[in-house]
Amino acid sequence: TPLITQRLADILHAAGVPEDIFIHLPGQGSQVGKLLVEDPHIAGVIFTGSKEVGMWIAHTAGKKVVGNELFGYEAPAKVITEMGGKNAIIVSPNAELDETVAGILYSAFGNAGQKCSACSRVIVHEAVKDRLIERLKEACRNIQVGPAFEHATFINPLIARKEKERLQREVKEVIREAKLYHGKIHLDRSNEDLPGWCMGPVLVELPIHRALQGKSCAKKELFGPVLHVTGCKTREEAIQLFNATEYGLTGGIFSQSQDDVEYLSRHLEAGNLYVNRPITGARVSIEPFGGFKLSGTGPKVGGPFYLEAFHHPLEPKEARDQKVIEIDAASIQQYKELMDKAAGFFRNKFYWNRKIPGQLSFNDLNQIRKKGLYLALEDQPDLKTFLYLLAAWGLGCEIKVLCKKEETYAYWKTIEKNLKPIPVELADAPRIVKALQDRDLSFLILEGNADEVQHFLAQIYDGTDEKRLMRRVLTKLDAPDIHDFERYLEPFVHVRSFAVNVMRHGAPLEVDGERTTDHGLRTTDKG
């Protein structure tokens, strides 16, 4: 609440932080927030909230280039968003059901499901679906709903009356859909006579053919104690269901099969993945938090890359003007080898998170941004933007170079054979605009000065809400030092933070000692 934030501000000011440096400005987002986001002097916006507001911020603040008179540079405004989720837990045929039911209940109904990380979908193998549903149904029937200050309460009140009214309307649509598409309403306590803004849990089963459709309630963030259950017959179906939403925030797996856990984990699109434990409650340095797709921009809060997002490397203007270089086959090969070495080191260096008893906590850096574009606007590439190209290429991203001018295209054709399989095309303005409208475009490397960058940012952030993911725009204006290869690699990786429960019946299974890994989920502590 604003009162808590004000108390934090008071503590920071008392500790010596200048009052004109850290300012708490409470107010309605539609008034105060709107003015701040639109202000041409605001160089960065960090936001937690809904997808709709986060997208508006990205399209409003993201198209600005802001000048810093003190240090003499211009750069695109920084936008970091953490938005919604439609998070799923996968239950395999051999899952331990006591542990699974407890984990689902806590993940779905803690805080009344009003957490972006909360579970709102359960994807369960048909072999155990009916048994799991009966267990969940019985638990939901008896779960205590009431005031937060009562010790017996499990589901606390919703945040406001209008949220209860909204959710009750949503539940009507959830029930209508289940009846229409041959699903089952296992439990509906949404209209019970409960105090204040309390609302009881809703448990609905929906068949897979409907759960995969775009307009299904099972793909919509409801933000409350409403849980969809869908059966599946194979691991591939489970993965398809898990990845079928526009979000990629959290998720979980309950399974006693190491093979199932490893196979599923390789393919799940979520920033935080939990194995045999609840999927909420991320902690700094232990489970760095944040997702991708339309769940947010990254980097992860509490992770190794977050602080860097607030840092702009400075260098003399003379040095900035000297970064246009002549690139030939030898230099491409040299930089490519250096970048490949850096990539291996990069994945190892940031692998382990902070160790705690009973849990393995690590980052997987093997999922990449799949599709990108390099806009070549200058006669020859700037070294910084070219390093971004090499980083994306080296990690295996699909990328295409579009050249705006004949001279630029002629230059790139001379080096194209050394960049295979990266295609190089000459593109006029309509072709570039069409390429920027690709819904699957996840990153853009943009050459040019501040004015040119400003022009294309306005086309990238055009106010439409049809993108499938939050794009990353990379320019020489805010690029890292040319020797910091790790920061050139980071934008092209989806960091997935794993938390693997290794406790059984209250006792940790891992052995203390040096930690080793093969970069899969066979991650152990070997003594």
Looking at 299-308, 322-331, 358-367, 432-441, which range is the least confident one?
A: 322-331
* pLDDT at res. 518: 42
Please say if the pLDDT value at position 520 is more than 80.
no
Name the residue with higher pLDDT: 518 or 459.
459
CA–CA separation, 172 vs 10, rounded Å?
Answer: 45
CA–CA separation, 390 vs 527, rounded Å?
Answer: 39
Name the residue with higher pLDDT: 526 or 130.
130
Specify the CATH number for the domain of residue 407: 3.40.605
Domain count, the chain: 2
Final residue belonging to a domain, choices 216, 247, 281:
281
Q: Are 244 and 183 part of one and the same domain?
A: yes
Q: Are 124 and 253 part of one and the same domain?
A: yes
Residue 254, helix vs strand vs coil: strand
Count CB atoms within 10 A of the CB of residue 278.
Answer: 22
Q: Are 99 and 56 part of one and the same domain?
A: no
> Does a structural domain hold residue 30?
no
Name the residue with higher pLDDT: 70 or 518.
70
Q: Please state the three-class secondary structure of 433-455 as a single string.
A: HHHHCCCCCCEEEECCCHHHHHH
Q: Are 490 and 423 part of one and the same domain?
A: yes
298-328 confidence digits (pLDDT tens)? 999 999 999 999 988 877 655 555 555 567 7
Confidence label for 504 from pLDDT (cuts 50, 70 and 90): confident
Q: Are 462 and 397 part of one and the same domain?
A: yes
Q: Are strands 119-125 and 226-232 parallel, antiparallel or unpaired?
A: parallel
Side chain identity, residue 108: A
- Token look-up 């009003």 returns 114
CA dihedral 46, 50, 53, 59 (to 10 degrees): 70
Residues spanned by the domain of 50 = 39-83+294-495
Please say if the pLDDT value at position 509 is more than 90.
no
Contact 233, 125 (CB under 8 A): yes
Confidence label for 70 from pLDDT (cuts 50, 70 and 90): confident
Residue 296, helix vs strand vs coil: strand
14-25 confidence digits (pLDDT tens)? 999 999 999 999
Looking at 210-224, 237-251, 466-480, which range is the least confident one?
A: 466-480
* pLDDT at res. 329: 73
Question: Which two tokens mark 24?
Answer: 């708490």
Question: Which two tokens mark 345?
Answer: 């080191």
263-279 confidence digits (pLDDT tens)? 999 999 999 999 999 99
Please say if the pLDDT value at position 146 is more than 80.
yes
CA dihedral 486, 489, 495, 498 (to 10 degrees): -50
Q: Are 138 and 275 part of one and the same domain?
A: yes
Side chain identity, residue 514: E
* pLDDT at res. 519: 39
Average pLDDT for 143-151: 96
> Does a structural domain hold residue 327?
yes
> Does a structural domain hold residue 375?
yes
Confidence label for 523 from pLDDT (cuts 50, 70 and 90): very low
Please report which helix (H) or strand (E) contains residue 407, including its range.
Answer: helix 406-415
pTM across the whole model: 0.93
Average pLDDT for 457-480: 87
> Does a structural domain hold residue 387?
yes
**Per-residue b/e over 468-489, b at no fewer than 16 CB within 10 Å?**
ebbbbbbbbbbbbebeebbbbb
Q: What is the mean pLDDT of the chain?
A: 92
> Does a structural domain hold residue 504?
no
* pLDDT at res. 328: 72
> Does a structural domain hold residue 99?
yes
Q: Are 328 and 412 part of one and the same domain?
A: yes
158-193 confidence digits (pLDDT tens)? 999 999 999 999 999 999 999 999 999 999 999 999
Final residue belonging to a domain, choices 281, 311, 345:
281
Name the residue with higher pLDDT: 525 or 11.
11
CA–CA separation, 289 vs 314, rounded Å?
Answer: 29
Side chain identity, residue 251: G
Specify the CATH number for the domain of residue 116: 3.40.309.10
* pLDDT at res. 67: 93
Q: Are 198 and 130 part of one and the same domain?
A: yes
398-411 confidence digits (pLDDT tens)? 999 999 999 999 99
* pLDDT at res. 326: 66
Average pLDDT for 188-216: 97
> Does a structural domain hold residue 188?
yes
78-132 confidence digits (pLDDT tens)? 999 999 999 999 999 999 999 999 999 999 999 999 999 999 999 999 999 999 9
Q: Are 129 and 223 part of one and the same domain?
A: yes
Q: Are 235 and 125 part of one and the same domain?
A: yes
* pLDDT at res. 144: 98
Final residue belonging to a domain, choices 281, 316, 351:
281
Q: What is the DSSP string of 124-183?
A: EEHHHHHHHHHHHHHHHHH--B--TTSTT-SB---S-HHHHHHHHHHHHHHHHHHHHTT-
Q: Which residues are catalytic?
A: 82, 116
Q: Are 100 and 202 part of one and the same domain?
A: yes
- Alpha helix segments (H runs only) across 39-80: 51-61
* pLDDT at res. 517: 44
Q: Are 357 and 456 part of one and the same domain?
A: yes
Residue 112, helix vs strand vs coil: helix
Please say if the pLDDT value at position 515 is more than 80.
no
> Does a structural domain hold residue 338?
yes
Residue 383, helix vs strand vs coil: helix
